[in-house]
Amino acid sequence: MINSSYFSCCSSCQVRVILCLSNSLSVLNQVHVCTELFLSFHVFIVLACETSEILTFTAHEGGKVEIRCPYEPKYEEHKKYLCRGECPIVIKDKPVESESAAKNERFSLTDNKTAHIFTVTITDLRTEDQGQYWCGVNTGLFNHDYKREIYLEIKHVSRVSGVTGEHLNITCHYENKLKNDVKFICKSSSTSLCEKSATKVSSEINSNGRFSLRDNESAEVFTVTITDLTEEDSGIYWCGAIQRGHGHKNKWISVTDLKVSAVTSERMSPKPTTTTASADTASDRTIISSSPSTSVLMFFSSTANAVSPKPQPGFGPIIMVVVIGILTGLGFSLFIYLRWSQKEKGTEPKDVVHGPTNNLPGGDTGETKEVSFIMCLSEFSLD
């Protein structure tokens, strides 16, 4: 007796069985033919049930995806798993399986036995995660596992930045086959949330508040403009198209990660620079002398220090030597001028010091010892 449950996946198989039973051959031939047909149909039906419509999930690098796998109520207590690749009968690559520790910590499985759906979550997605998967249910030792084919698509993320108050453009390049489809952009970390209520603007509604969309069909690119950016605009944006010829399913084109930062005072005005002047300790040196001409030198030195700016570190000693040299030259010139003017008048200069004329060391008498201004300058230089 043929179990009708084998043909629950394919209605055309039931028609072929009826034709087989109504065959005008002999009973033995009829049974033989039907047995062969049954075996071939059984293999065909299993393949058909496994290769039915492929479920596609799209996510982005670094994000996560939740793969939802529904199953029949009779498999409520059976083991569920996610299989990667071709998933052969003998050796299966199972990253995660219920009632067992996951082989990869990025994979996890939860089973909602009330809704009869188990969900596989993959985090920290990478480009190598893209490919073929199977939602599987272990139906028993001698039974074929129930499986549903899955295709996981991983999108590369383009990163852009903006500043609050300014505007920004997001460009989305699409395939020629999407030329006549409705284009849109939505903001969400996952495509499932985008499909529900996160659409910002579309080619049917070209403007929505601060968002606008322009579709250049000849260049096969549409551009979304966001004006008056705010920090709340930061996030993941998906460019997509609604495929008219595929049951209005969304085709995800590209992903953009937008980061909006606030305008800081440093961007508004140039940062003020602070110059720290270092004191020259040499200029603060005190010079003590009983000579009147030394007071003149100290006056010139104080005047030079008051007028000239503080020297930079490393140049203090050089500047001090130069200043002393200049002042020495001026003092010497002044001394020569005074001597010359006194000789012209035939009188002695006021700078001459007379010592006692008697009892001088060495027996000298009556001779005048002159202490010139140059000696003061020499002593000053030595100090």
Q: What is the pLDDT along the chain (383 residues), one digit of tens a residue?
A: 434 333 334 333 333 333 333 343 343 344 344 344 343 444 333 333 444 689 999 999 999 999 999 999 999 999 999 999 999 888 899 999 998 888 889 999 999 999 999 999 999 999 999 999 999 999 876 678 889 999 999 999 999 999 999 999 999 999 999 999 999 999 998 998 887 767 888 888 889 999 999 999 999 999 999 999 999 999 999 999 998 776 678 999 999 999 999 977 555 554 444 333 333 443 343 333 334 444 433 433 444 444 444 445 556 778 888 888 888 888 888 888 888 877 776 655 444 444 444 444 454 444 444 444 434 444 444 44
Neighbours of 311 (CB within 10 A): 19
Rg (CA), the chain: 50
Give phi and psi for 80, each to the nearest 5: -115, 155
Q: What is the DSSP letter of 246?
A: G
d(CA 374, CA 383) in angstroms, rounded, equals 14
As given in the structure block, the two tokens for residue 295 are 């007071």
Report CA 109 to chain centroid distance, whole Å: 31
d(CA 79, CA 302) in angstroms, rounded, equals 97
User: Contact, 227 vs 167, CB < 8 A?
Assistant: yes
pLDDT confidence of residue 286: 36
As given in the structure block, the two tokens for residue 102 are 């996951």
Residue 148: which of 60, 44, 72 has the closest Cα? 72
Neighbours of 339 (CB within 10 A): 16
pLDDT tens digits, one per residue of 81-90:
999 999 988 8
Give phi and psi for 124, each to the nearest 5: 50, 55
As given in the structure block, the two tokens for residue 132 are 């073929």
d(CA 253, CA 241) in angstroms, rounded, equals 7
| Structural element, H or E, at residue 103 | none
- 316-345 and 292-307 helices, crossing angle to 10°: 140
d(CA 96, CA 189) in angstroms, rounded, equals 24
Give phi and psi for 297, each to the nearest 5: -65, -45
Residue 47 CB partners (closer than 8 Å, separation 6+): none
d(CA 228, CA 9) in angstroms, rounded, equals 55
Note if the pTM is more than 0.75: no
DSSP string spanning 79-107?
Answer: -EEEEETT--SSS-EEEEETTS--SSTTE
Starting from the edge strand earliest in sequence, which strands make up the sheet with 211-216, in order? 168-173, 221-226, 211-216, 207-208
Side chain identity, residue 195: E
Reduced to 3 states (helix: H, G, I; strand: E, B; else coil), residue 122 is strand
d(CA 125, CA 76) in angstroms, rounded, equals 29
Neighbours of 91 (CB within 10 A): 7
d(CA 78, CA 140) in angstroms, rounded, equals 8
User: Contact, 86 vs 50, CB < 8 A?
Assistant: no
pLDDT tens digits, one per residue of 328-366:
888 888 888 888 877 776 655 444 444 444 444 454 444
Please give the torsion angle defined by the CA atoms of residues 245, 47, 72 and 12, in that order, rounded to the nearest 10 degrees: 70
Whose tokens are 């082989």? That residue is 103
